């Protein structure tokens, strides 16, 4: 694809961006465009991987949330556990923890949502 490096301005074309960070997207050997998340951004939940950017993106589909920010939180059993700080939509009802957790279980699967 001609000119793709210019379109993505170097930040996503498979080279480091101007801020020195690794690109968020890359082209694979078959010229498909996809995520290039570093391993440190991956969360292990049993035998499956959880990508915080995926969880963040799915949280935008909830009727109650305007957005979410995945973070690492201390956990007595595992040392660290993935959590999310959630912000309400402007006209949404009061956010209730159990409602958000229930939505996460239904929409994303139990292994990607908090206990």
Residue 36 scores a pLDDT above 70: no
CB within 8 Å of 96: residues ≥ 6 apart: none
Do 101 and 47 fall into the same domain? Answer: yes
Output the domain CATH number for residue 60: 3.30.300.30
Contact 106, 90 (CB under 8 A): no
Q: What is the pLDDT of residues 59-91, one digit of tens each?
A: 878 878 888 888 877 878 767 777 888 888 887
User: Lowest mean pLDDT: which of 9-13, 46-50, 101-105?
Assistant: 9-13
Do 60 and 105 fall into the same domain? Answer: yes
Do 6 and 61 fall into the same domain? Answer: no
* Separation between Cα atoms, residue 48 and residue 17, nearest integer Å: 30
Do 29 and 47 fall into the same domain? Answer: no
98-114 burial code (b ≥16 CB/10 A, e <16): eebeebbeeebeeebbe
pTM, entire model: 0.51
CB within 8 Å of 11: residues ≥ 6 apart: 17, 18, 23, 24
**Tally of domains in the chain:** 2
- Range among 5-14, 19-28, 69-78 rated most confident: 69-78
Structural domain boundaries, residue 2: 1-36
């Amino acid at each position: 694809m001609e000119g793709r490096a210019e379109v993505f301005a170097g930040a996503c074309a498979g080279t480091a961006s101007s801020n020195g960070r690794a690109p968020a997207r890359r082209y694979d050997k078959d010229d498909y465009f996809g995520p290039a998340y570093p391993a440190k951004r991956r969360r292990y939940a049993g035998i499956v991987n959880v990508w915080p950017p995926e969880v963040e993106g799915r949280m935008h589909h909830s009727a109650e949330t305007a957005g979410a920010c995945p973070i690492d939180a201390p956990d007595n059993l595992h040392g660290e556990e993935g959590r999310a700080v959630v912000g309400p939509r402007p006209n949404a009802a009061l956010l209730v923890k159990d409602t958000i957790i229930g939505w996460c279980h239904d929409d994303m699967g139990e292994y990607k949502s908090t206990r």
